[in-house]
Amino acid sequence: MEGVVKVYKPILATSTECVEEVKKALGVRKAGHSGTLDPHAEGLLLICLNSSTKLIPYLLNLDKEYIGEAILGIKTNTGDRGGVVIESNLNRKISYDSLLEAIQDFKGKIKQIPPLYSAIKVKGKRLYEYAREGIDDVELVPREVTVYDFDVLYLIDENIQKFGFRIRCSKGTYVRRIIEDLGERLGCGAFLSKLRRIKIGPFDLEDSVKPWDKERLNQAILSNEEVVKKIMPVVEITPEEESKISRGISIKSRFPLEGEVGLFLNKTLVAIAEGKDGVIKPLRVFKT
């Protein structure tokens, strides 16, 4: 069994737990996901089965889209609702216009420091492990990410102000860090109270399946061919070219190709390759 499943991760489950549930439900030996969702977030996970785990690096590179909600005037130590309140500033009310103006600073290419409560590794250890040990002086390097769209959906002004948003961003973007930094920009603090990933590249939540639903999981598997056609250009190669590609040998390109490309033989995925300077170099080879 191979292919990719669109899985709906529920709140409080970890991404790893979802992978294990899928492995158990489908009886597969190997599986992996294409981008972590925090435990307090929900939504789309792409889980690759067996040899389809070779697709993970290419799925990781896809843009992500989320809808969410943030609380203004309160800060938590994790930046989301799973943390402990460390500061409250509920008397400062933010206008809709001020919110819209501040959000403009978080569009385009931005630098962000990863949250201490995150799975990024520093010196072989995940950041959340440092945080749980009370070590907060870990040197964190700002990372450049891109926010393509960041829109306010609503602003509710009750006892506690909260706003809904939609955001589309590049891989590696921490949405809760954006919300934390936005709170600092507004001078009131903020934390992420809800987050749902609704899209990864061309893949959306439609027909996504709970990780333990064996019957629906079996029906929802996308083939390698379906997936690759959605994320990169594809070309048909000849049997002679396939013979070389399957042994990891580069071939001369008959096409004006630059960048990643899916190579097919008789409509079956043979390899993912890189086209450059008239040469096609195999990167990941699949059994045919």
Residues designated catalytic: 38
DSSP 207-246: T-B-TT-HHHHHHSPBPHHHHHHHHS-EEE--HHHHHHHT
Cβ atoms of 47 and 4 closer than 8 Å: yes
Q: Using the structure block, give the residue that is written with the tokens 């390759």.
A: 273
CA distance 261 to 245: 13
Rg of the chain over Cα atoms, rounded to whole angstroms, equals 22
Nearest CA to 152 out of 72, 64, 43 is that of: 72
Token pair recorded at residue 149: 């769209």
203 contacts: CB under 8 Å, gap ≥ 6: 6, 44, 46, 62, 230
For the chain, give me the number of helices (H) and strands (E)? 8, 18
Tell me, what amino acid is at 9? K
CA distance 256 to 264: 16
